[in-house]
Amino acid sequence: MRVGKPTAHLNRLDPLISLLVLAISIAVLVLSVPQPVHALDFPGSTGIPKAPVSQLTYETYLQATGRPRASRYHAYVANYQTYANKQLLVYGTPDQVPDNRYDSRYGEYAYLGFSYDETPVTNTDFPDDSPTGATYSSPWDWVEHDLGLEAEISWARLSESQRSLVSQSPLSYRRDTYGGMDFAGLGLTTGNSIILTPPAWHLGFALYTRHDMPGTTQMRYATFTGPGSGQIALYSRLEILSPLGAGDTLVIPAGASSVDLRYRLSGWIGQFGGLATLKDLANCGVGNSLSWKSGSGLGPWSIDLVQSVSRTYLGTSATKNLTVSGQAWAVSWMGDIFVSTASQTIEVVDGATAPFTIALDTSGSLDYFASRNNEFDYNESRDRNRYLGLEKVTFEIDFSHPTESASLIFLGKTYTLNQNSANPATHFEVEVTIPSDRQTLNWQHQRLTKSHLAEVRATATINGVSSYRVKKQSDIEVTGDIHDLSRVLASLS
């Protein structure tokens, strides 16, 4: 602890004027948007920022993250050396602080410089006022003085997240935690502590306090410091876009040397933790070794990719698993790299040896019965193949091989699945509107007629041999029509 200087930390403006100037400054900062910086590659490229290593790179970091590079009144420049040694945002140099003291034994100044508002910033590492400079009392025993409006104003300048971090962070005095000091444990409040330097993701904070030396009326001051904090919750997703064959397989057609696998990679920021904000990010994006794309904002950022899968990938096997993956990333101006990896494994099948199979599935435009809420589900069953009259039902049909002829038969109608000879498909979707007079179950779950049958018939030639297959789905139910919904929902509510 050091001899107190009661006027050393008073603001140079009237407190009310200080608050007005502060509000104007905040408004200006909100409108200042840093220019985006794009990585040249990822990871490990020159496009990824690094922590400041010089005065110039430090000023660049401050400007990029929307922080002033100079103080408010006399334009003292933010000091890189103070940041490098103390992890604090301090403006000016110790030599610019009037009546500063220097201790040659410890190589420390009493004041490091100024805050943005040009309040002198005391140095926690400056030795105590004892013959050896050592601290002979414990911060746990200090009774802090009330610092009045000056303290309240300094706290009012902080955001809610900054106030929360300061009040919950571990504290140090002269780089000693004294067994785990914290804000509440020391009896600190917003009335007896002055925020000298505000915290950020990569910037610590300094707290100025005053107390009487234990057992005396001799006033002393102390400077506590704490770390900044930041985190990013980053997410990614991989979605297969290519139509897959039966059993979610990627089929290399007979006679083809390869097949294209199309998929979409997406990334997004779910939330920021600590004091991390969007302005702390230098770049973000999504991709893999095939290609990548820069992102912006919280996302989602997406890129569609095409990967060619050669028949040689199978070797001598008829099937082989293939894992595709990609990454979403976010990089801070300090070079912190956050990565989220998404992957999906599919089975690659040699169409020349795979058996001819058919997969059939249905989904409704409303899917009312498939998504019933258990809270009201007392007179209807949960049935994913049960639809309403006049509802549009999509039949999804997947073949393990391109077909020569194929058709869907449903409710007495035949729907031909036409092939493109130049680019034969194995995935088809047929949309059918259910007539209102084809009910099989009423609203009380009583059967009216037997279930409806959907049938797919197809022919394909594999290795010179023609194969004929039939796939049936016989449990399709119809209840009422879409106009009944308002009445039914009203009776259930």
SS3 for the chain is CEECCCCCCCCCCCHHHHHHHHHHHHHHHHHCCCCCCCCCCCCCCCCCCCCCCCHHHHHHHHHHCCCCCECCCCCCEECHHHHHHHCCCCECCHHHCCCCCEECCCCEECEEEECCCCCEEECCCCCCCCCCCCCCCCHHHCCECCCHHHHHHHHHCCCHHHHHHHHHCECEECCECCCCCECCCCCCCCCCCEEEECCCCCCCEEEEEEEECCCCCCEEEEEEEECCCEEEEEEEEEEECCCCECCCEEEECCCCCEEEEEEEEEEEEEEEEECCCHHHEEEEEEECCCCEEECCCCCCEEEEEEEEEEHHHHCCCCEEEEEEEEEEEEEECCCCEEEEEEEEEEEEEECCCCCCCEEEEEEECCCCCCCCCCCCCCCCCCCCCEEEECCEEEEEEEECCCCCEEEEEECCEEEECCCCCCCCCCEEEEEEECCCCCCCECCCCCECCCCEEEEEEEEEEECCEEEEEEEEEEEEEEEEEHHHHHHHHHHHC
Write the CB contacts of 151 (distance below 8 Å, at least 6 apart in sequence): 190, 191, 192, 193, 194
As a whole number of angstroms, the distance between CA 78 and CA 65 comes to: 14
As a whole number of angstroms, the distance between CA 346 and CA 305 comes to: 16
Of 62-66, 202-206, 219-223, 418-422, minimum mean pLDDT range = 418-422
Q: What is the mean pLDDT of the chain?
A: 85
As a whole number of angstroms, the distance between CA 79 and CA 91 comes to: 6
Q: What is the mean pLDDT of residues 1-24?
A: 38
3-state secondary structure labels for all residues of 473-488: EEEEEEEEEHHHHHHH
CB distance 334 to 49 below 8 Å: yes
* Domain residue ranges in the chain: 2-228, 231-350, 358-492
Residue 375 is predicted with a pLDDT of 45
- What are the backbone angles phi and psi of residue 284, rounded to the nearest 5°? -155, 165
Question: What's the angle, vertex CA 330, arms to CA 324 and CA 331, rounded to 5?
Answer: 130
As a whole number of angstroms, the distance between CA 260 and CA 455 comes to: 30
Write the CB contacts of 378 (distance below 8 Å, at least 6 apart in sequence): none
Q: Do domains 231-350 and 358-492 have the same CATH topology?
A: yes
Whether residue 9 has pLDDT greater than 70: no
- What are the backbone angles phi and psi of residue 374, rounded to the nearest 5°? -60, -25
Residue 115 is predicted with a pLDDT of 95
The gap from C-alpha 338 to its chain's centroid, in whole angstroms, comes to 9
Residue 213 is predicted with a pLDDT of 81
Residue 402 is predicted with a pLDDT of 84
CB distance 305 to 347 below 8 Å: no
Tell me the pLDDT band of 381, cut-offs 50, 70 and 90: low
CB distance 65 to 279 below 8 Å: yes
Selected residue with higher pLDDT from 29 and 388: 388
CATH among 2.40.50, 3.40.50, 2.60.40, 1.10.3470 for 231-350: 2.60.40
pLDDT digit string, tens, across residues 29-81: 222 222 333 333 444 344 567 789 999 999 999 999 999 999 999 999 999 99
Whole-structure pTM value: 0.63
Identify the CA nearest to 394 among candidates 432, 439, 358. 432
Other Cβ atoms closer than 10 A to 81: 14
Q: Tokens in use for 420?
A: 């493109």
Q: What is the mean pLDDT of residues 331-357?
A: 88
Write the CB contacts of 301 (distance below 8 Å, at least 6 apart in sequence): 266, 267, 268, 284, 285, 286, 293, 294, 295, 328
Region of residue 385 (phi > 0: left; psi between -120 and 50: alpha; otherwise: beta): alpha
Q: What is the mean pLDDT of residues 201-206?
A: 96
As a whole number of angstroms, the distance between CA 236 and CA 240 comes to: 14
Percentage of the chain modeled with pLDDT above 70: 86
Residue 154 is predicted with a pLDDT of 95
Q: Tokens in use for 313?
A: 């990938």
pLDDT digit string, tens, across residues 140-189: 999 999 999 999 999 999 999 999 999 999 999 999 999 999 999 999 99
Architecture of domain 358-492: Sandwich (2.60)
Which residues, in sequence order, are bridge partners of residue 472? 455
As a whole number of angstroms, the distance between CA 331 and CA 201 comes to: 13
Tell me the pLDDT band of 25, cut-offs 50, 70 and 90: very low
